[in-house]
Amino acid sequence: MYLNQPGGVTISNCVALALGVSLSISCHLPVHAESAALRPNIVFIMADDLGIGDLGYTNQIARAAANLPAISTPNIDKLASDGVNFTRMYSGAPICSPSRASLLTGFEINHVIKEHTDKFNGFRSGQDDDKTWGQMLQDAGYKTGMWGKWHLGGVNSSGAPNDQGIFDFTQIPTQQGFETAFGSMHGGYRVSRLWENDGNGGLKYTPVAPDPSWPGPGPSYRYSQDVTSDHAVNYIRNHANGADPFAMYVAFEAVHDPLDRLGPGEYEPNNWPDVQERYANMVTGLDRNVGDLIAAIEDPNGDGDKSDSIAANTLVIFTSDNGALWTPHVSGFNTEFFDSNGSYRGQKSNTLEGGIITPFLVRWDGVTTPGAVNSTHVGSFADIFPTFAELAGQDTPFGLDGRSMLPAILGQPDPPRTDAIVWTDKDNFAGLNQASYAIQMGGWKFIHRVLTNTEELYHIEVDPYETTNISSSRIDMVTAFKAVAQKEGVLDEPYFAIGNTSQGQNVFFTQYKYWVPGAGANLFVDPANWSGGTQLNRDTDPDALFWNTGPASNWLAKVDNNLDGTRNTWVGQDATVLGLEVVGSAGGMHLTVNTGITLNAYNGVRIGDRGMVRLVNSTLKTVGDVEVRPGGKLSGSGTITGWQSLLAGIPEFAGQGLLEPTVINSGSVEIFGGYDATTPGLLSIEGDFRQLPSGTLQIDLFNSSGIAGMSYDFLNVQDSAMLAGILAPKLMNGFIPIAGQQFTVLSAGSLLDNGLNLGGPDGIWFSQSVANASDLILTFVNADFDNSNFIDGNDLAIWKANYGTSGPMGDANLDGLVDGQDFLAWQRQFGNSLALLATATAAVVPEPSTSLYCLSLFCSGVAFLRRRRRGC
């Protein structure tokens, strides 16, 4: 169902649905956990080389008021007034083709294969390799289409005399998630033919109508962008209010050079330099195309009556692929003439703000706040994939760099970003020393320039225009940022190694690797247990580097049992991957990290259905989320931490949670001290803990033995804990606490009980409370209801009156019925004589089978109070 359609889910009633749904909207939780798909139409519009200062609402209206040369963009300005203006959003890269790869895959450019504009390979075509959000939305039942400039491989420049057509079938948009495709694909001009989907998963040429009025330069055909825009408009009109939602990726060519595609237009009387007039008309032409798309959304049948508008069911995003066109690239053009980058330094192909910060407007009528400005959300194009996945109710591939910005779009609380954002640029146009990498984190930004081996450090939150380079006075920060660059894999590219100016090819990009059960030792680090991976985009063939020598820092490692039964793999020595998923598609899949071992997974860990990650006094290290999904389990004892140690001693980074993990439990977290159930366990999370309504946290309570004097399992959370779902205490080895005895089973920097319930077989014996907003305390309840110091018939009568008819306390054995067997369950915990048990049995449960059942348990020597841990 569409959002705000008749019979659909609205924002207002969505919050009033089940608790899990409301949490997914208000608390920024992953789409897999407790969420409902909103499923609006999606129209993503992207300009090419448009500067953030080229638009009326950012700069040009003010310039016109000051009688300075100015460009008119009324349609985009209205989009800004009708939606939300995100002022801290960045492109995927400072140059077009890599930026588009980041946009579609959800990876930052240091993790994708497409780091060069001159490399034809944009994607890999395996089952999971380089999956685009177009493919993800197709899986969700969306109709998908792409219009305009593809520029990600597969197609040469259309219409050129030497055009060779399609040279790689796997790279074209119709094979990468967009069933409809139309446009120039690699950049165009006034051409006689454009590309169009052929209905069979391929592309074909389609003729373009002549335009005899065009005086030149170039042949007299319609401007390709106008033709593309018309096709996109028709798509909206034909699919509005259809049975399925649609998603459009409209990648306009403007304002990329050459700048003579439209002529001076309305700006000719200004007596500006000709190239500036033409540039202004290119921007205004783009604005006109955007206006046509919005008009089709607001009035699909074009009759002037907007009662058929789909604006309340359509998410519209407008942005640009990178910063403004660089000045030396076009003869006579000057970005300062219109102040195209505003006050920002740098432009296209530079990792200064002017090369990567971009206009970013989001409109969704009835959902986004008109005219709102969001200056707190810091993100990049890598965030688009997970955002669309959350909207569609689909899974986000594990290990992506991006995170969903849906809470920010909805105006909900949006937690500060705790990871780093990375950009790389291997291009060095016009000798401007652009080649560099940049990292932004915690309000600061670091740039390393390759050709000069120089460094820049800016406090970007207070110095957004990068006026003051303080790298020489903050060696501690420079050192920390370099260490982060190493962990992010940037320095594994020879080109970006400090002091290395060689033009190395890509050697570090994501490798999709798969572990499946085999006949060998089933060791995690054994290369023989792994398959998958590619060496695409290398001029040489270095097998020994990040490929098939065992787990490596660019591996997205999926561990799966696709056979049967329960399978195991052991991490017996320190190992590193980029991301880790453990799941049992056919049977249980258990990954054990042995004592004293550290398993690193920088971009996160996902534990899926029938998967388990078990720590045996060991360490799991990540900057991303540790997702424990329904049917998955995190168990054992040890430490879950990140790379916050890289920032130790830097006061500006303290207290922000930077480079720390968040454990999100919608499955099961079960703490224990070893391979057996005889000792309590300690699990420390050096970050945040979120337990969702479907999650269970099991805490075992023992006799006097324990770790550091504790006699129960303990969860220690360094930062915040938000708890919902079930807390399941278990009484182990005949342990009977004293009535009123308290157990502090969880401590956190801050703790919020968001609907946590006691459950499991022994949960009914306890009450829970939160002390000092940081400690979760279990209190053993008193079954001696009449305080006679003996459990007798009076207590039975009180039980029958208070619990023996209904309610969770009544159904003690969790069989769905409240009957005499439930009081027997109470007696097993608190009774102190067989005679009393028999009396209770006769009084409450007259059925012989039940009495015999209880007697047989007792006579067989099975202690009533003994609890055994579930199988692991």
Domain spans, the chain: 40-414, 435-509, 510-627, 667-781, 793-859
Establish how many alpha carbons lie within 13 A of residue 85's alpha carbon, considering only the half-sphere containing its beta carbon: 17
Average pLDDT for residues 825-833, to the nearest whole number? 48
Cα separation, 352 vs 465, whole angstroms: 9
Has residue 816 got a pLDDT over 80?
Answer: no
**Which segment, 184-193, 252-261, 687-696, is predicted with the most confidence on average?**
687-696
483-530 pLDDT tens trace: 999 999 999 887 887 666 565 566 778 888 999 887 667 999 988 888
Q: Categorize the per-residue pLDDT at 858 as very low, low, confident or very high, splitting at 50, 70 and 90.
A: very low
Asked if 822 and 796 touch (Cβ cutoff 8 Å), the reply is: no
Among 329, 359, 333, residue whose Cα is nearest residue 344: 359
Q: Is the pLDDT of residue 854 over 60?
A: no
Q: Is the pLDDT of residue 536 over 60?
A: no
What would the CATH number be for the domain defined by 40-414?
3.40.720.10
Is residue 162's pLDDT more than 50? no
Give pLDDT tens digits for 645-654. Answer: 999 999 999 9
For residue 863, the model assigns a pLDDT of 23
Could you check whether the bond before residue 217 is cis, i.e. omega within 30 degrees of 0?
yes
Taking 80 as the threshold, does the pLDDT of residue 235 lie above it? Answer: yes
- Decide which of 25 and 40 is more confident: 40
Which residues have C-beta within 8 Å of that of residue 44, sequence separation ≥ 6? Answer: 247, 248, 249, 250, 317, 319, 384
Q: Which residue has better confidence, 809 or 457?
A: 457
Q: Predicted confidence band at 835 (pLDDT cuts at 50, 70, 90)?
A: very low
Reduce the DSSP state of residue 140 to 3 states and report it: coil
Question: For position 3, what pLDDT does the model report?
Answer: 33
The whole-angstrom separation of Cα 383 and Cα 748 is 29
pLDDT for 471 beyond 80? yes
If one compares 184 and 17, the residue with the highest pLDDT of the two is 184
Q: Which residue has the higher pLDDT, 497 or 227?
A: 227
Lowest model confidence (mean pLDDT) among 651-655, 693-697, 838-842: 838-842
Give the model's pLDDT for residue 493.
83
Contacts of residue 161, defined as CB under 8 A and 6 or more positions apart, other chains included, come to none
- Residue 187: per-residue pLDDT: 72
> Vertex 717, ends 712 and 719: CA angle to 5°?
160
Give 821's pLDDT tier (boundaries 50, 70, 90): low
Q: Is 303 exposed, middle or buried (0-12, 13-18, 19+ CB in 10 A)?
A: exposed
* Conformational region of residue 523, where left means phi above 0, alpha means psi within -120 to 50, and beta covers everything else: beta
Tokens representing residue 254 in the block = 């403007």
Per-residue exposure over 364-389, b if at least 16 CB sit within 10 Å of its own CB, e if not: bbebbeeeeebeebbbbbbbbbbbbb
57 sits in which H/E element: none
For residue 542, pLDDT beyond 50? no
- CATH class held by domain 435-509: alpha beta
Strands 688-691 and 696-701: unpaired
Summarize pLDDT for 743-764 with one digit per residue, the tens: 999 999 999 999 999 988 778 7
**What is the predicted pLDDT for the residue at 564?**
83
Phi/psi of residue 645, nearest 5 degrees: -65, -25
Q: Is 837 helix (H, G, I), strand (E, B) or coil?
A: helix
Give me the pLDDT at residue 800, please: 67
Whole-number pLDDT of residue 56: 97
Q: What is the mean pLDDT of residues 177-190?
A: 86
When mean pLDDT is compared across 249-253, 367-371, 447-451, 844-848, the lowest value belongs to 844-848
Model confidence at 17: pLDDT above 80: no
pLDDT (0 to 100) of residue 519: 62
Q: Phi/psi at 663 (nearest 5 deg)? A: -95, 120
Asked if pLDDT for residue 459 goes beyond 60, the answer is yes
Cα–Cα distance measured from residue 258 to residue 256, given in angstroms and rounded to the nearest whole number: 6
Average pLDDT, the chain: 83
pTM: 0.86
pLDDT beyond 90 at 784: no
Per-residue pLDDT reduced to its tens digit, 546-560:
556 789 999 999 999
Reported confidence tier of residue 838, pLDDT bands at 50, 70, 90: very low
- Residue 789: exposed, middle, or buried by beta-carbon count in 10 A (0-12, 13-18, 19+)? exposed
Query: Does position 621 have pLDDT exceeding 80, yes or no?
Result: yes
Segment 240-246 shows an average pLDDT of: 92
380, 358 contact by CB (below 8 A): no
Of 216, 436, 429, 184, the residue nearest 330 (C-alpha): 429
Tens digits of residue pLDDT in 87-132: 999 999 998 889 999 999 999 998 887 665 555 556 765 556 789 9
Contact 767, 778 (CB under 8 A): yes
Tens of pLDDT, residues 58-87? 999 999 999 999 999 999 999 999 999 999
The radius of gyration of the chain's CA atoms, rounded to the nearest angstrom, is 31
% of residues, the chain, pLDDT over 70? 78
Around Cβ 62, how many Cβ atoms within 10 Å? 14
More confident call, 707 vs 204:
204
Sole residue written with tokens 């740039």: 447
User: Residue 97's pLDDT is what?
Assistant: 87
pLDDT-wise least confident of 177-186, 416-425, 762-771, 817-826: 817-826
Q: How confident is the model over 391-402, as pLDDT tens digits?
A: 999 999 999 999
Q: Is 797 helix (H, G, I), strand (E, B) or coil?
A: helix
3 state SS of 529: helix
Contact 187, 149 (CB under 8 A): yes
- What was the pLDDT predicted at 363? 98
Give the position of tokens 């056919």: 586
Q: What tens digit of pLDDT does each residue of 260-304 get?
A: 888 888 898 898 999 999 999 999 999 999 999 999 999 999 999
Beta-bridge partners for 144: 247
Return the pLDDT at 719.
Answer: 96
Q: Which residues pair with 625 in a beta bridge?
A: 662
